[in-house]
Chains A and B, each alone.
Chain A
Amino acid sequence: MTDPMLIDADQLRAEVRDKYRHVALAPAAEHHFHTGRRHAALHGDDQAHVGALPDRAVESFAGVANPFSLAPLEPGACVVDVGSGAGFDSFVAAHHVGFAGRVTGVDMTPEMLAKSRATRELLDLPHVEFREGFAEALPVDDASADVVISNGVFNLCPDKRAAFDEVFRILRPGGILQFADIANGRDVPDDALRNIDLWTG
């Protein structure tokens, strides 16, 4: 766990929100990471399904790997997507679980929430919803999720233990956490951990 004292959590949250506001509004602009369909293809996402999604559902995708690569989701599952962004992984999850299942995306960036909600309306997916919230305080009931997914989000949380504790709280006994995120093979020195620009770029 990163020592929360190394950085200002509120400042990091503001920087992350600003970064992903830009990804929502200008997905094709220069970012420090790849975005969009080619990036999803690199991760091996289901191209038959992804190809059928409209551009607005895919263009702001900025995940770091494929959270569905280790196992598909079961039809009928109740899924929570932590840091759902513009909704790409939520829409893939909705395809996996079908209309008997349910997908709830949670994100803290208003522009991402507006985009995901508009796409959900466009796709007419009544079993998908998006809520405003933080990974460390998920607006989801205890033991209510069969599966929690996430993609490239926990690394941006200053208190990762608090975020994983929240995931544990909302999962039912026997529930599954399957997510994608980055990990470093080389230790990051404290001065780099204090550099908020490195967290977001």
Chain B
Amino acid sequence: MLEEVGFVDVAIGPPVDTFGGANGEANARAFEVYGYAFRARKPRT
């Protein structure tokens, strides 16, 4: 979606088990949900 909007140079960091040990862990595990860092750039022109 980021590229559809027009962003370029999209980068994604490693997964983070952000729900591990939290009350939402079961739902997160069911859908393999993890946190990620993303970075993208708006073109100069």
Identify the interface centre among B1, B34, B35, B38: most chain A CB within 10 Å of its CB.
B35
CB distance from A155 to the nearest CB of B (A): 9
Give the residue of A30, A71, A164 whose beta carbon is less than 8 angstroms from that of B1. Answer: A164
| B31 cross-chain contacts in A, Cβ below 8 A | 184-186, 188, 192
Among the listed A69, A71, A174, which residue makes an inter-chain contact with B42, where contact means beta carbons less than 8 Å apart? A174
Closest to A200 in B: B24
The residues of B that contact A4 with a CB separation of less than 8 Å are none
Interface 0/1 of B11-29, CB less than 8 Å to A: 1010010110111100110
Whether the Cβ atoms of B18 and A65 lie closer than 8 Å is yes
Residues of A with C-beta under 8 A to B32: 184-186
| Residues of B in contact, count (CB < 8 Å) | 33
Partner of B37, one of A30, A31, A69, A174: A69
Alpha-carbon separation in the docked complex, A65 to B6 (Å): 24
> Which of B2, B23, B37, B45 gathers the greatest number of chain A CB atoms within 10 Å?
B37
Within A107-126, the residues touching B (CB, 8 Å) are none
Give the chain A neighbours of B13 by CB distance below 8 A.
65, 69-70
Query: In the complex, which residues of chain A have a beta carbon less than 8 angstroms from the beta carbon of B30?
Result: 186
**Closest Cβ neighbor of A150 among chain B residues:** B38
When A and B form their complex, which 8 residue pairs have the shortest distance between CB atoms, in order from nearest? A185-B32, A32-B24, A64-B35, A65-B35, A184-B31, A174-B44, A178-B39, A70-B39
A residues engaging B (CB < 8 A)? 1, 30-34, 42-43, 63-71, 152, 160-161, 164-165, 167-168, 171-186, 188, 192, 198, 201
Beyond the given A174-B43, A176-B39, please list 11 additional residue pairs across the A-B interface where CB-CB is below 8 A. Answer: A34-B22, A65-B16, A67-B37, A70-B13, A164-B5, A174-B41, A178-B38, A178-B39, A182-B35, A182-B36, A186-B32
